[in-house]
Amino acid sequence: MASLAFSSTSASPVALRGRPNKLAIGVAQSGACHVSARGSDRKARLFITRAVAVEKKVSRFEDVAMAPPDPILGVSEAFRACTNESKLNLGVGAYRTEDLQPYVLNVVKKAEKLMLEKGENKEYLPIEGLAAFNKATAELLLGADNHSIQSQRVATVQGLSGTGSLRLAAAFINRYCPNSKVLISSPTWGNHKNIFNDAGVPWSEYRYYDPKTVGLDFEGMIADIKAAPSGSFILLHGCAHNPTGIDPTPEQWTQIADVLEEKGHTPFFDVAYQGFASGSLDEDAFSVRLFVERGFEVFVAQSYSKNLGLYSERIGAINVICSSSDVANRVKSQLKRLARPMYSNPPVHGARIVANVVGDPNLFSEWKAEMEEMAGRIKNVRKRLYDNLSQKDKSGKDWSFILRQIGMFSYTGLNTSQSENMTNKWHMYMTKDGRISLAGLSLAKCDYLADAIIDSYHNVN
Amino acid sequence: MAFRAMISSHATQQSKWVPSAGVARQMSSWFGHVEPAAKDPILGVTEAFLADPSPDKVNVGVGAYRDDNGKPVVLECVREAERRIAGNLNMEYLPMGGSSHMIEESLKLAYGEDSDFIKDKRIAAVQALSGTGACRLFADFQKRFLPDSQIYIPVPTWANHHNIWRDARVPQNTFHYYHAETKGLDFSSLMEDIKNAPNGSFFLLHACAHNPTGVDPSEEQWREISHLFKSKNHFPFFDMAYQGFASGDPERDAKAIRIFLDDGHLIGCAQSFAKNMGLYGQRAGCLSILCDNEMEAVAVKSQLQQLGRPMYSNPPVHGALIVSTILGDPELKKLWLQEVKGMADRIIGMRTTLRENLEKLGSPLSWEHITNQIGMFCYSGMSPEQVDRLTNEYHIYMTRNGRISMAGVTTGNVGYLANAIHEVTK
């Protein structure tokens, strides 16, 4: 490692004790020598001729490149910077009210108030998280009377929302199924790849989105899953597929299960929108419960970011439904062992909120009502957008896919340039894959958005 | 074992689940080969303690502060902060790097209120999942950007340090630290190891209140260590989990870091608010890396965020809000400083009492180290067998390395504890 070197400058050797770095910066800024230059310039540095009280070290991290901006969160940043009045943020998937304001659920406020009054302590949770939360979350997912829960075959560990839960599962797969890969849908949530990459789990894609129909490429999906090596993990979105909003029908889910069974694959569900898609917790859990009923061992990552609006509290869970309680115990112990060197134990606040809401019958009912309202608003917005598009678009294009899609997002079918036109000309901020977040759309703005979409679709290539 | 073979044999054998008449048929599992993990040595102690029905039981295992009644404490300043933030803000995702207000306040605490490094924006810092998360982020960063580097870890250290760098796949070495004979610092061996390590090695240093020994270098010794680090061009990574908690004075507890900064080192630092603010379960912490200049700090921070994104996307908000509310308000900060001093003082008092009791009991051994050591932990020098006796015969729970969490010692149990220790060591 090269030791420090500065070219001799006119900077006087003032007493540097206690302020060595000021000199270094001063020298750099004066332009008398180019300290932070990379590559060949570095070799051109001369050594200090005057005694410097303290040497400043050359950083080891000088060659660290700037990471690219996150494609999704970057949209919000651009939106914030825009001054146009008509602007709309259709980027990140966080629910907004009709007034386009963030929304803290009433049940959450009530739960927090209860918690404040109770004044519970802030001791470490066990590595696996809050027991009351773990029990509630598994029951919510599978139904309290589900056989897998009754026979204690479900290993549940509280995780850092969906991301953290996925990461724990990925780390487990890397350690215990080192020859297996994961299949993810094309497209899928951007962070899925990052999670499996960083966990060292190889992945490949299965066809999912069909741009011709703006719907599901079911045949492609089945073919690709069939072609995967036996014993692969198939990452499935439980409901409200992100980013397309396109879900398989119940019949299609059954056929998907058939293929997984035939190939000995393991289903790995990402459930980030339970209750948020249709408005019903049970209905949205259909796909997961189907696979569990069929006798699969299943991984399920859950998130309460959207359905309880607890985004920043980072609350979720990883569930592994196993073939026996003995296996479940061992799997749980190893999930804990993976979590310990990541963050020791999970944050308590969000877990308590969920446990309080689900544990109180009144709050639970109220929550279901609020969830129906949120899902309802999104359905209404879809309808309005569809109506506006159908009325205004004289080309006869069929926009009904918007009604068939479900959940927070809609894949509009717009390509990159068209999406860019949405932003540059119409100040509609969205991701370049054509995805819009309906959670960020109000009834009042549907008209304008329809104009923007029609223009971008027909007039831009 | 050939997992493929196992998979294909399972694929043909796997029977469908048929829950019938309450009796379920076992089907073969993909995860049958998964062995049960060993209990975590530290957190396992609390589990065992909780399961013990004895009325005399004492938990001096995990490092969580207890008041003189043995009860967990939520600081007044924390309660007040929570009252202030309740219902005020939405729960939107924090930026990937976390709460900027919290980061700002954390840096001031570690680097100094008027630190030039902060003013010059040379510190790449992100909110992290307490100390564990901060160390893990750094380990992952080290692996990604300096893939040939290793980490030197003191012997002994907090057990999870080994897990963290191992799971980050950074090779580990150790350096001498604890001197069993004196129950103090093995300074000459420490310096020897620093000297013998290849130039430019990464070292994990406990900034204050070493865990598990409670043995810290003196100020003079820190200066010598820093000086030697300079000539070897080593990278100092500080784990500071007890700032304020060790001496009662956060400025004093940051002395080691300030010495290294003054000497021109570019350091890394993991901070935790679990103990000093009692925010254990909130997972509030900060990782910082001092860089050459602002541009580099921006790049490094962006990469730290990139590492956090596939681990948890963005960090939890609640603890961060508490930290920034307290540190950002002069009144609340003053209250916090009083409370943290109170906790440190109680522990120092218990150290004195425990030592006095042992001496009064006529113990043949020296117990000086109890008051020489600092912070939450005391490395008693007891053997695992002696610890087992403490647990089995006296229902006293602690880790088998002889580490006593002084935070769990109260005026109510110190006599019982001293007596038991005396019995197993005399």
pLDDT at A22 over 80: no
**What is the distance in angstroms between the Cα of A80 and the nearest Cα belonging to chain B?**
14
The confidence score (pLDDT) of residue B2 equals 36
Least confident of A70-74, A235-239, B115-119, B301-305: A70-74
Residues on chain A touching B30 (C-beta within 8 angstroms): 177, 231, 266, 297
* Contact yes or no for A288/A238 (Cβ under 8 A): yes
The residue behind tokens 């970011």 is A305
* Cα–Cα distance for residue pair B347/B209, rounded to 1 Å: 12
- In the residue annotation, A210 being an active-site residue is answered as no
Disruptive mutation site among A22, A57, A73, A122 for chain B (greatest number of B CBs within 10 Å): A122
Disruptive mutation site among A344, A345, A357 for chain B (greatest number of B CBs within 10 Å): A344
Confidence of residue A35 (pLDDT cuts 50, 70, 90): very low
Tokens standing for residue B178: 């604890």
* Cα–Cα distance for residue pair A90/A78, rounded to 1 Å: 11
Confidence of residue B353 (pLDDT cuts 50, 70, 90): very high
Disruptive mutation site among B235, B313, B376 for chain A (greatest number of A CBs within 10 Å): B313
pLDDT at A51 over 50: no
The confidence score (pLDDT) of residue B91 equals 72
The pLDDT mean for chain A works out to 87
- In the residue annotation, B167 being an active-site residue is answered as no
Does the beta carbon of B22 lie under 8 angstroms from any beta carbon of chain A? no
* Contact yes or no for B235/B268 (Cβ under 8 A): yes
pLDDT at A12 over 80: no
Q: For the CA atoms of A91, A96, A97, A101, what is the dihedral angle to 10 degrees?
A: -100
Does the beta carbon of B5 lie under 8 angstroms from any beta carbon of chain A? no
The confidence score (pLDDT) of residue A61 equals 79
Disruptive mutation site among B34, B80, B235 for chain A (greatest number of A CBs within 10 Å): B34
- Could you tell me which residues are beta bridge partners of residue A318? A157, A301
**What is the distance in angstroms between the Cα of A297 and the nearest Cα belonging to chain B?**
7
Residues on chain B touching A64 (C-beta within 8 angstroms): 145, 296, 299-300, 303
Of these residues, A217, A247, A306, A367, which one is catalytic?
Answer: A306
Closest-CA residue of chain A to B311: A164
**Residues B291-309: what's their mean pLDDT?**
93
The confidence score (pLDDT) of residue B29 equals 67
Closest-CA residue of chain B to A108: B87
Confidence of residue A92 (pLDDT cuts 50, 70, 90): confident
CB distance B311–A109 less than 8 Å?
no
Which is higher by pLDDT, B159 or B193?
B193
**Residues B247-275: what's their mean pLDDT?**
97
pLDDT at B408 over 50: yes
Of these residues, B140, B186, B216, B239, which one is catalytic?
Answer: B239
Of these residues, B140, B158, B186, B253, which one is catalytic?
Answer: B158
pLDDT at A43 over 60: no
pLDDT at A432 over 50: yes
Tokens standing for residue A98: 């009709």
Nearest Cβ partner for B14 among A122, A264, A334: A264
Q: What is the pLDDT of residues A172-181, one digit of tens each?
A: 999 999 999 9
The confidence score (pLDDT) of residue A57 equals 59
Nearest Cβ partner for A57 among B122, B164, B265: B265
Helix (H/G/I), strand (E/B), else coil: B99:
coil
Nearest Cβ partner for A116 among B18, B82, B117: B82
CB distance B91–A125 less than 8 Å?
no
* Cα–Cα distance for residue pair A120/B281, rounded to 1 Å: 11
pLDDT at A36 over 80: no
Q: Phi, psi at residue A147, to the nearest 5°? A: -60, -35
* Cα–Cα distance for residue pair A159/B99, rounded to 1 Å: 20
Q: How many residues would you count in chain B?
A: 426
The confidence score (pLDDT) of residue A6 equals 31
pLDDT at A222 over 80: yes
Q: What is the pLDDT of residues B27-75, one digit of tens each?
A: 466 677 777 787 777 778 888 898 999 999 999 997 889 999 988 999 9
* Contact yes or no for A439/A408 (Cβ under 8 A): yes
Report chain B's terminal Cα–Cα distance, integer Å: 50
Residues on chain A touching B27 (C-beta within 8 angstroms): 295, 323
Q: Among residues 322-361 of chain B, which lie with CB inside 8 Å of chain A?
A: none
CB pairs under 8 A between A and B: 299
Residues on chain A touching B160 (C-beta within 8 angstroms): 340-341, 344
**Residues B283-301: what's their mean pLDDT?**
95
CB distance B310–A126 less than 8 Å?
no
Angle, alpha carbons A282-A285-A286 (nearest 5°): 95
Does the beta carbon of B317 lie under 8 angstroms from any beta carbon of chain A? yes
Of these residues, A110, A189, A224, A332, which one is catalytic?
Answer: A189
Closest-CA residue of chain A to B89: A104
The confidence score (pLDDT) of residue A46 equals 33
* Cα–Cα distance for residue pair A2/B339, rounded to 1 Å: 46
Residues on chain A touching B133 (C-beta within 8 angstroms): 342-344
CB distance A147–B265 less than 8 Å?
no
Nearest Cβ partner for B91 among A113, A179, A309: A309
Tokens standing for residue B186: 């093995």
Closest-CA residue of chain B to A337: B37
Q: Look at residues B88, B135, B72 and name the one whose alpha carbon lies nearest to residue B321.
A: B88
Least confident of A29-43, A110-124, A361-375: A29-43
Its pTM stands at: 0.82
Residues on chain B touching A122 (C-beta within 8 angstroms): 72, 74, 78, 278-282
* Contact yes or no for A32/A10 (Cβ under 8 A): yes
Give Cα B297 distance to the centre of its chain: 25
Burial (CB count <10 Å: 0-12, 13-18, 19+), residue A326: middle
Does the beta carbon of B292 lie under 8 angstroms from any beta carbon of chain A? yes
- In the residue annotation, B275 being an active-site residue is answered as yes
Q: What is the pLDDT of residues A338-397, one digit of tens each?
A: 999 999 999 999 999 999 999 999 999 999 999 999 999 999 999 999 999 999 999 999
Tokens standing for residue A355: 């446990």
How many C-beta atoms surround the C-beta of residue B265 within 10 A? 21
CB distance A312–B311 less than 8 Å?
no
CB distance B160–A341 less than 8 Å?
yes
pLDDT at B194 over 50: yes
* Cα–Cα distance for residue pair A289/A287, rounded to 1 Å: 6
Q: Look at residues B256, B230, B244 and name the one whose alpha carbon lies nearest to residue B338.
A: B244
CB distance B233–A295 less than 8 Å?
no
CB distance B64–A123 less than 8 Å?
yes
**What is the distance in angstroms between the Cα of B167 and the nearest Cα belonging to chain A?**
7
Would you tell me the crossing angle of helices B76-85 and B317-328 to the nearest 10 degrees?
A: 110
CB distance B264–A314 less than 8 Å?
no
Q: Look at residues B257, B421, B282 and name the one whose alpha carbon lies nearest to residue A122.
A: B282
Q: Look at residues B164, B194, B163, B161 and name the one whose alpha carbon lies nearest to residue B177.
A: B194
Of these residues, A203, A270, A284, A399, which one is catalytic?
Answer: A270
Q: What is the pLDDT of residues A253-307, one digit of tens each?
A: 999 999 999 999 999 999 999 999 999 999 999 999 999 999 999 999 999 999 9
pLDDT at B329 over 90: yes
CB distance A330–B307 less than 8 Å?
no
Q: How many residues would you count in chain A?
A: 461
pLDDT at A53 over 50: no
CB distance A167–B311 less than 8 Å?
yes
